[in-house]
Amino acid sequence: MFHNSGHVPKGARKLLGWQSHLELESLPTGGWGYDHFPASASYAGTIKAELDKDFLGQTGKFHTMWGEFGGFKRAAALQYECAAMLAWGAKCSIGDQLHPSGEMTFDTYDLIGAAYSQVEEKQAWCENTRILSDIALVSPEARVEAAGASPVSHNNTSLVEEGASRMLLELGYQFAVVDLQTPLDNYKVVILPDEQFLNGEFALKIKKYVENGGKLILSGQSLLNSQNDAAVLDIGLELVGKSEFNPDYLVATDLAPSLPIRGPFVIHGGAWNVLADEQWQVLATRRNPYFNRAWDHFCSHQHTPDAEDSEYLGAACNGQIAYFAHPIFTAYRQLGQPLLRDLVSEALKILLPEPLVETSLPTAGRATLTQQNEKQRAILHLLFTVPQKRGANASIYASGIQAVEVIEDIFPLNNIQCKVRLPQEFRQVTLVPAGQSLEFEQHEGIIIFSVPQLVGHQMVELSYA
């Protein structure tokens, strides 16, 4: 029995207690997009054992969404969506709606059958798995749930969480989406993105996590108390106030060498004016614009250019904690500026220099690491495709017209370099289900190998004694 609300709200433990299992409804072409499911599945996989509930992914065969009679995806899209369910530890469900005549549409079942034939071949490596992660992304939805608000629906999900999860997916990090009740001790880095989290028992929980050596990423308001007048953690950061400028500019320092732009670049959302003591190293400084563009101060089409240096930090790290003065994850979700992701990547290189998984996948690639302990193996899932947005931006409810993320063409990638850090001693690396053995190197808890070709989805079995 599953009481469907179009979304599994994070942190709604009482609500989830009434479900016999979890169904992660996520129609990429129906407005959810292809990055909604990974975050939803990351949360379900995190609480699966705690709640003793299984979970499955649910997509649709439609070109758009429910109610589209005569709508069909390309087979490549449905195959990729099922592969993503397997990669994030979910069972598979594909939805359709029956014609009122009661007759089956065999085109639908041919389409679903093509996807499920691949699922059947891969099933043995996807049963009873757990997802391995070294980063915990604390869900802003969970903060809302803890405050007693109504559960969040799929069409009102958090831009903050989506921005943070997209960054981590594109950077290839292994992360779990967690709520305020999830134990944090086993995670090397915890991210509190953009919004205010540090109240009551959870604030004490984070303080203890940091005291025990845990690494932390804070951004925007997540540093502050509920009155927004002081930093909650005593970590050498002093709040002065909220910046009067929006947007303003960031400038990468020599401690953020990977950013290709070395001069000022714009960031929206408004910053908090924060000063750091000498233990902090600045990854990005700030520059103020001439003024905020308004009816009485005019400049061009959007905003004024940079004018002068700000005394306040843009991004900084003290080796254990990184802080971004702007709501950087929300800004990334809204505009997709890769420079913002580059800056977060620089902080993660400091906080997590040896991540669980590293690959040579491009940013559209996805990598997850699961484990079947009873079968003494880990499974690295590699996925790659490039959804294209097609159609017009109008409401499907109003006019039957909608922009859709379409997967039609699957391009092969060759020679993907992979590095996995696990404590086991591995005896074999195999492409499955094909059964092709790969050469590998292993030393000091690191296993290194190359996958000759990836076409959509490839699983790699890492067998240990």
Element (H, E) at 109: helix 106-122
Distance CA 206, CA 199 (A): 10
pLDDT tens, position by position, 326-375: 999 999 999 999 999 999 999 999 999 999 999 999 999 999 999 999 99
User: Which residue range is the domain that position 311 belongs to?
Assistant: 189-351
Cβ–Cβ under 8 Å, residues 57 and 39:
no
Q: Is the pTM of this model over 0.75?
A: yes
pLDDT of res. 14: 85
Domain boundary pick from 351, 377, 395 = 351
Structure confidence at residue 15 as a pLDDT band (50, 70, 90): confident
- Residue 182 covered by a domain: no
- Do 231 and 328 lie in one domain? The reply is yes
pLDDT of res. 38: 95
Q: Which residues have a Cβ under 8 Å from the Cβ of 454 and sit 6 or more positions away?
A: 365, 382, 383, 384, 412, 413, 414, 416
Structure confidence at residue 31 as a pLDDT band (50, 70, 90): confident
- Do 313 and 369 lie in one domain? The reply is no
- Do 200 and 333 lie in one domain? The reply is yes
- Do 303 and 373 lie in one domain? The reply is no
- Do 410 and 442 lie in one domain? The reply is yes
Domain boundary pick from 333, 351, 369 = 351
Q: Which of 32-41, 138-147, 156-165 has the lowest mean pLDDT?
A: 138-147
Q: Which residues have a Cβ under 8 Å from the Cβ of 261 and sit 6 or more positions away?
A: 252, 339
- Do 261 and 397 lie in one domain? The reply is no
Distance CA 310, CA 323 (A): 17
Distance CA 375, CA 390 (A): 43
Asked if the model's pLDDT at residue 465 lies above 90, the reply is no
Q: Domain of 269: which CATH number?
A: 3.40.50.880
pLDDT tens, position by position, 222-243: 999 999 999 999 999 999 999 9
- Do 199 and 344 lie in one domain? The reply is yes
- Do 23 and 97 lie in one domain? The reply is yes
- Do 329 and 368 lie in one domain? The reply is no
- Do 347 and 376 lie in one domain? The reply is no
- Residue 224 covered by a domain: yes
Tell me the three state secondary structure of residue 378. Answer: strand
- Do 457 and 374 lie in one domain? The reply is yes
What are the backbone angles phi and psi of residue 238, rounded to the nearest 5°?
-115, 125
Distance CA 241, CA 238 (A): 9
| Residue in 310, 242, 261, 306 with CA at minimum distance from that of residue 282 | 310
Burial 7-39 (b: 16+ CB within 10 A, else e): bbbbbbbeebeebeebbbbbbbbbbbbbbbbbb
- Do 194 and 229 lie in one domain? The reply is yes
- Residue 264 covered by a domain: yes
The number of domains in the chain is 3
Distance CA 159, CA 336 (A): 12
- The full DSSP string for 206-240 is HHHHHHTT-EEEEEGGGGB-TTSSSBSS-SSEEEE
